[in-house]
Amino acid sequence: MRKRYKRDYMILESKDPSFRLKERISPKAFAKIETREEKVNIMIYVENVKYIKSGYRIILIQDDLTAKDIGRVLVNENGKGEFKINFDEENLEVKGIALTHEKDIPLIGFKGKMVDNYEELINKNIKRKESVVEDLDKEDEVDKIPDLRKEKIKFELDEKRDYEEEEIEEEKEEEIEQEEQEEETEEEIEENYDTELKQEEIERNEKVEEKVENEKKKNEEKILFSQKEKIEEKTEQKMNDSEEQDVDRKESREKDEKVYLIPRKLKKLLKKHKEIKPFIKEIDNTRWWKIDINPLTMCSYIMPYLGYINYINYTIYSDITSLSYKYRHYIFGIKYSCDGKRKYYIYGIPGRRNEQPDEGETGFCNFIPCDDKNKTYGYWICCIDCKSRLIAVADK
């Protein structure tokens, strides 16, 4: 039975170091080839390549006799560029892909065995294309549109998060001001109440002096006794209220000052990444970091992968890789128990609801949206038990 879906990857390596953008960093390119029924999609991502206004030609090597020009990839001043093309050819075979500029070959890669006469095939194709004039300015504008959209979406998300953080700080300041006003009001009430008590005592004493001395003494004793009891009750009540407030403040302070510890090796690696709050509704007792990636780092197995991705399968053949590279990052989190001990390591792959990595086979089964309105964009979550290092179902 014919396979309905197939996916291959290819790394293009530097052949001519004069085309690198930065010294000591070789140009790199990453190609993904997807075959779905009778269509073939080819996507190429380029990094650290010297900026050339006209861009680089992409030559597709099919076999020992056939090579064809499939288009041009434009790179920006940072040496990055993307190229995508679709073919309605069921049996298209790709033996190699090369980036060319005039008669030079800056990057080339092969699927399996290297084609021996690739330079001759590429030069023949270049000669056929020398007489063709293309509208590069138009292609430049079209290729830049996706980057501009991505930058706009990123700017809107950052602006939204900054606005929400400002609102939270304003609410905290209002609560503090309200508590101070309530304390001042209570002090004023207590002062007024003491003044009224003194005034009552003076009036009662004036009335008692008008009566007989015996009655005066008895009445004075009764009044003083009753006043003493009231004062003692009020004093005791104030002391109890003050003790309760001190206990509440102490508990709140202890809660705020709770420290979530990180292992020494993991802490050293996470210092290189930015700690963030990816969700509007925060997950209790959880810290998050944003892990930025590119074609040079996406295939590595350093922390904070913790060996999990490498344990499942070869990373580059998983949807985890393509989605992370598509959005240029993923997130890593640590969830703690109520007593401050590490409970889960959490991986978050960015995407939409219809972009579940590997259909959940690699543990990414829970989707958490980043906003409450559309709930379309967010992160697919996978939790790893800190002790067993196996996939776990996290507590809500």
Q: What is the pLDDT of residues 253-310, one digit of tens each?
A: 544 456 678 888 888 888 888 999 999 888 889 999 998 887 766 655 454 444 555 4
pLDDT of residue 139: 52
Task: Give me the residue spans of the domains in the chain.
Answer: 5-134, 213-257, 264-392
Across the range 226-239, mean pLDDT stands at 75
pLDDT of residue 316: 56
DSSP string, 229-259: HHHHHHHHHHHHHHHHHHHHHHHHHHHHT--
pLDDT tier at 80 (50, 70, 90 boundaries)?
very high
Residues 325 and 320: their CA atoms lie apart, in Å, by: 8
For the ranges 26-30, 37-41, 228-232, the maximum mean pLDDT occurs at: 26-30
pLDDT of residue 303: 46
**Span 5-134 CATH architecture:** Sandwich (2.60)
pLDDT of residue 336: 93
Q: Token digits for 292?
A: 């930025």
pLDDT of residue 43: 92
pLDDT of residue 314: 45
* pLDDT exceeds cutoff 60 at 16: yes
Which CB contacts under 8 angstroms, 24+ apart, belong to 185-191?
none
pLDDT of residue 165: 66
Residues 305 and 55: their CA atoms lie apart, in Å, by: 36
Across the range 182-205, mean pLDDT stands at 69
CB 121 within 8 A of CB 97: no
Higher-pLDDT residue of 229, 46: 46
* pLDDT exceeds cutoff 80 at 332: yes
Count Cβ atoms below 10 Å from residue 339 Cβ, excluding itself. Answer: 8
pLDDT tens for residues 152-162?
456 556 655 66
Q: Which of 9, 42, 15, 38 is nearest to 27 (CA)?
A: 15
Residue at token pair 């196996």: 390
